[in-house]
Amino acid sequence: MTALNSPHDRFFKAVFGRTEVAAEFLERYLPATAAQALDWKTLRTAKDSFLDPELALHPADLLYTVDLRGGGAGYVHVLFEHKSYVESRIGLDLLRYRVRIWEQWLNAGNSGRLPVVVPVVVHHGTATWRVSRQFADEVEDVPPLRDYVPACVYHLIDLSGYRDDELQGAVMLHTALLTLKYIFRNELSQRLPEILGLLRDLAQSSMGLDYVRTLLRYLAQAASIDRLTGDQLRQVVTETLSGGGELMLTIAEQWEQQAMERGIEKGIEKGIEQGIERGIEQGIEQGEARLLKQLLSWRFGALPSWVESQLAGAGPERLEAWAKRALDAPDLATVFAERSR
């Protein structure tokens, strides 16, 4: 399955991978009739991936099993969508996923009627969601043949369409939803004290502290620098949370790496000679491999020995090309692939 390279995907999966958070979220935001048909105390994450490699379009997908109140079990499939544009073929993707879930269910030796699969799309991008929620609307409409086209409706939870007072729940869910709603908005820095203020009591427990760190790392990685600077984040955390200064030390390195990455991207766009941020000045302009190594480690984890060999002795021009690819390459091999001239 595709790696969770997006900070939005990583945060969503870290939060909603907690069954207690997912159960509360779905029970609150599914239509009442659907929510009442499911026994949320039984919700659990399906441990095995149901996606084939060719279907791995959305790495933050989550699949849950849940018992039906009338007997039997079903599935809830949550697809997280954070792109700034709306995926026009999402209905087709969801139909393919449903078929794959059913195939896996049958391959496990089950028989009888297929289980219900409830598809849920969670969107927090800036674009208004205008795609139909029925797969049938993606198919040519021929009135005499409509009976042969499946509707395959999915439920949409578009966070941008909810008022703040409608985004409720226990502390983890509440703060996660507000953060996801504002992460792309200019009001983020103004709303952050209120959001973090909800975490005061939670940060006193070990489990709560782990979530606080997860949330702060997400803010450090995902918030654009014009919406939330490192100094703004440090100030709000220090003023709002007990021990906030120590918490910020735990993510300071992450923030610096993110700033370096932003520096590389903007520096290449504007011209290396203009540069921005210490990452550009110390990395590309001086021809050092250290910054690129840090960026690659952050994107892909521990680096194999062949990457160390590639970086050693590479000139500024080659380092610059690799750094540019590293911003959106799916893997290390793509970063270092030789391009035809």
What is residue 286's predicted lDDT score, i.e. its pLDDT? 46
What is residue 260's predicted lDDT score, i.e. its pLDDT? 57
C-alpha distances in Å from residue 207, one per residue of 47, 88, 180, 201, 210: 22, 39, 21, 12, 5
Please tell me whether residue 39 adopts helix, strand or coil conformation. strand
pLDDT in tens, the chain (341 residues): 344 568 888 899 999 999 999 999 999 999 999 999 999 999 999 865 555 555 554 556 899 999 999 889 999 999 888 776 677 788 888 998 899 899 889 998 999 999 999 999 999 988 888 888 999 999 999 999 999 999 899 999 999 889 999 999 999 999 999 999 999 888 998 999 999 888 877 755 666 778 888 888 888 888 877 788 877 888 888 888 765 555 565 555 555 555 555 555 555 445 434 443 444 444 444 455 777 887 788 777 778 888 888 887 777 778 878 887 887 778 888 888 875 43
Q: What is the dihedral of CA 198, 20, 10, 37, to 10 degrees?
A: -120
From the list 25, 61, 60, 58, the residue with the least C-alpha distance to 40 is 25
* Exposure class string for 19-28: b at 16+ Cβ within 10 A, else e: bebbbbbbbb
CB-hemisphere CA count at 13 Å for 278?
Answer: 6
DSSP string, 326-338: HTT-SSHHHHHPP
CB 236 within 8 A of CB 223: no
Please name the residues in contact with 19: beta carbons below 8 A apart, sequence gap of 6 or more.
Answer: 43, 44, 45, 64
Please name the residues in contact with 4: beta carbons below 8 A apart, sequence gap of 6 or more.
Answer: 10, 13, 59, 60
What is residue 251's predicted lDDT score, i.e. its pLDDT? 56
Please tell me whether residue 64 adopts helix, strand or coil conformation. strand
What is residue 250's predicted lDDT score, i.e. its pLDDT? 55
Q: What's the maximum distance between 2 C-alpha atoms anywhere in the chain?
A: 69
Q: If you ran DSSP here, which 8-state letter would residue 153 be given?
A: B
Please name the residues in contact with 188: beta carbons below 8 A apart, sequence gap of 6 or more.
Answer: 182, 223, 227, 228
